[in-house]
Amino acid sequence: MLHPVILSGGIGSRLWPLSREHTPKQLLPLMGEKTPLQTTIERLEGLPEQVAPWILCNEDHRFLVAEQLRQIQQTTTGIILEPVGRNTAPATAIAALAALDKDPDAILLVLPADHLIADIARFQHAVVQGLELAQDYLVTFGIVPLYPESGYGYIRGGKAIEGVESGLQVGAFVEKPDTETAKTYLDSGDYYWNSGMFIFSAERYLKTLGHFEPAILAACEAAYAGESIDLERDFIRLEETAFQSCPSQSIDYAVMEKTESAAVIPLDAGWNDIGSWSALWDLSAQDETGTVCRGDVLSESVSNSYLRAEYRLLAVLGVSDLIVVETADAVLVAHKDQAQQVKNIVTRLKHTQRAEVDLHRKVYRPWGSYELMDSEPRFQVKRIRVNPGASLSLQMHHHRSEHWVVVAGTANIHRDGEQFLLTENQSTYIPLGTRHRLENPGKIPLEIIEIQSGSYLGEDDIIRFEDEYGR
């Protein structure tokens, strides 16, 4: 059987301030209403003899991933939670171990969650070709290059493989070239962009990994052997200490560049890894001036620019070749030629421990979300949204009290042993040190305004007594 494996790691730092540690690019609606994770999964529909996909993601993203799967009514074979990021070779090894537990003949189709592919029929045709090779080769997909891109690694195609329409042995993997070298690659017709997509036998992959990188395989086997499973949500947690000890390595470095059994299937299907704001500009519908506007944008005498407003009116006048992205707590202004350097800003934010690198003002939780509306040293105001039927943990705070005002829906309040309902325009007070819980018993989302006051307002001042989400 074909076992799709969706790798939902990474944060896409070059798409800051939209992409952040806790809401990475694959979980954001970059192009339309759906996220790259959702479109990656939907791209699989119609492939032969496949099981529901395996999803590998950061543990911090688990509830957001589960919610996005629910939105498209997609089941999974399992959502495997990585306690730390260790790149694609260990992640794929874990998926291979899990797949072999269910199917000794499992074929893995490994796909990053953050790619765009315009021509799904061509993609699926290439996958079917890859299936023909997957028992004898470790197969990757090489993107037919459209221009001399210096930001991608390349694959040089080798001898044709008999019996497969376009299968080639891999001649060599090539690091990211300079522009002039990339031009020679393009002119030769023998080189392909390295897509990071693969198809191979789970058993063959593990054997090859164990031969070249035994420490990776040993750590993954130990981490998987110590797994714990949340059956209600299909979460599979790895043994943290073992996985942390695993070397961080990509599939390319750990296996593909070392094996003599690497093959490449050329793919010309409108592929893009959405790696920067300039790539997003190129992919989006542009007006007659070459400008892309998303959100509440007012532009005049603007050309060849990408303008995106998430919260407020964005007014732009008399500029060209710019990227301007507005969010609730940060604004990026960059020349399009500098789009790849946004990651340098993210690095500086990390060094100074700025919160803007991790979280948006709107933060997703398994029960819904909250959004910070205002904050000062001794108070802050949040808008809280609780999904129908969902409940926050039974908790208390040592350093703050809270006022809740219901603005939509019905709230079921638990407060120091008493229980009561609040409806629109009603409010209550939660004193410091009081055990309390907020529930939504209704059929529509519950929205409240929460006013916190006290000497310390951090999210770590939460003492949980009961929590249905296992936090």
pLDDT tens string, the chain, 471 residues long: the values are 999 999 998 778 999 999 999 899 999 999 889 999 999 999 999 999 999 999 999 988 998 999 899 899 999 999 999 999 999 999 999 999 999 999 999 999 999 999 999 999 999 999 999 999 998 999 999 999 999 988 899 999 999 998 888 899 999 999 999 999 999 999 999 999 999 999 999 999 999 999 999 999 999 999 999 988 875 667 999 999 999 999 999 999 999 999 999 999 999 999 999 989 999 999 999 999 999 999 999 999 999 999 999 999 999 999 999 999 999 999 999 999 999 899 999 999 999 999 899 888 888 888 999 999 999 999 999 999 999 999 999 999 999 999 999 999 999 999 999 999 999 999 999 999 999 999 999 999 999 999 999 999 988 999 999 988 877
Q: What angle do CA 33, 20, 406 make, to 5 degrees?
A: 65
Q: Is residue 347 helix, strand or coil?
A: helix
Residue 120 backbone dihedrals phi, psi, to 5 degrees: -70, -35
Spatial separation of the C-alpha atoms in residues 44 and 140, rounded to whole Å: 17
Spatial separation of the C-alpha atoms in residues 193 and 141, rounded to whole Å: 9
Q: What angle do CA 271, 277, 279 make, to 5 degrees?
A: 25
Q: Is residue 19 helix, strand or coil?
A: coil
Among 467, 463, 471, 470, smallest CA distance to 392 is for 467
pTM of the model: 0.89
